[in-house]
Amino acid sequence: MTLAVRYTAARTLDTAPAETSSPGPGEVELAPAYVGICGTDLHIFHGDMDARVSAPAVLGHEMSGRVVRVGPDVEGWRPGDAVTVMPLRWDGTCPACASGHRHICQNLDFIGIDSPGAMQQRWTVPAATLVRLPGSLALDRAALVEPTAVAVHDVGRAEVREGERVVVVGGGPVGVLIALVARAAGAEVRVVELSTHRRLLAEELGLTTWDPAADDVPEAVRQWTGGAGADVAFEVSGAAGGVGTAVEVLGVRGRLCLVAIHPRPREVNLHRFFWRELTLVGARLYDRPDFERAVTLVADGTIPAERLISKVVPLTEAPAAFGALEAGGDVMKILVDCGNDTTGA
């Protein structure tokens, strides 16, 4: 019998025993080492995703760990291999899959939302979801590969190019990761963030920040760009004001990449889109090349994952950690230690 963190009702989590079954054909049993708590997990915690989540539900999809057992017909994996999981299971038959966009399959099973996630001591997943980790990469840092893959996909969707001016609205974990990935692509980047703690952390990573409560961000962009406006803006805040800022800072034919999940419709200045011939692109999830690129960026230190980890808590303290994240303050990324960070797991 192993332990798992479960969502049981709105704002209610517990840590309870979980059954472990042998991996079937095409499946692999993993020993999760670390699991990150992300914004989607908080949405589930708040009860906002009850239409998709069947309680009791095991949460978590940002993870690292090791292979324990492989099922029949699984090749290329063996016990002890260090892995992360791209938590997507698509049907392969819907129109999205048929057009080559299986990561946004119209019947997508997002593992950790639509089916049991990684916040448990043993976890069985399809072998096709595994992504290999280099042996030199510490497993706590590797837990940030999944959100880094999100950032890689976002920067790719926005087609960020070397020398472009990029504004990231929202300096939480994904916003900072987008800024770092865009910088690695050769862009000049500015981060807009209300939280003093998050601005200071971004600045320690070499990023320039603006406080929208104190700075006139559109005017700052005009001065920075010589009046041209930004080439790309990422809306990562999830706030109505963030949408307005992201639209206003863009120059002629600028691109707005929508990353945050907005639970309700927002007012958008469409005249600005008309007047400056702006482009809006959505960015959701990732595909395998994004994940593989993310592994490289975390492993080579381009993404200083250790600087983004605020706290590591044991599995039994995970429910309390959700409250700490919700409260904000001096917290960026909290990892749950599942107790499996050993080579012999």
The residues annotated with a catalytic role in the active site are: 40, 43
* Nearest partner of 176 among 5, 303, 49, 24, judged by Cα: 303
Identify the bridge partners of residue 28 per DSSP, sorted by sequence position.
70, 125
Alpha helices in 249-333 (DSSP H): 270-276, 288-299, 305-308, 318-327
Whether a cis peptide bond, with omega within 30° of 0, leads into 23 is: no
User: Do residues 228 and 249 touch, judged by C-beta distance below 8 A?
Assistant: no
Q: At what angle do helices 145-157 and 288-299 cross, to 10 degrees?
A: 120
CA distances from 242 to 39, 107, 217, 271 (A): 17, 30, 11, 17
Residue 160 and residue 182 in contact, taking contact as beta carbons nearer than 8 Å: yes
Let me know the angle formed at the C-alpha of 290 by 91 and 262, rounded to the nearest 5 degrees.
75
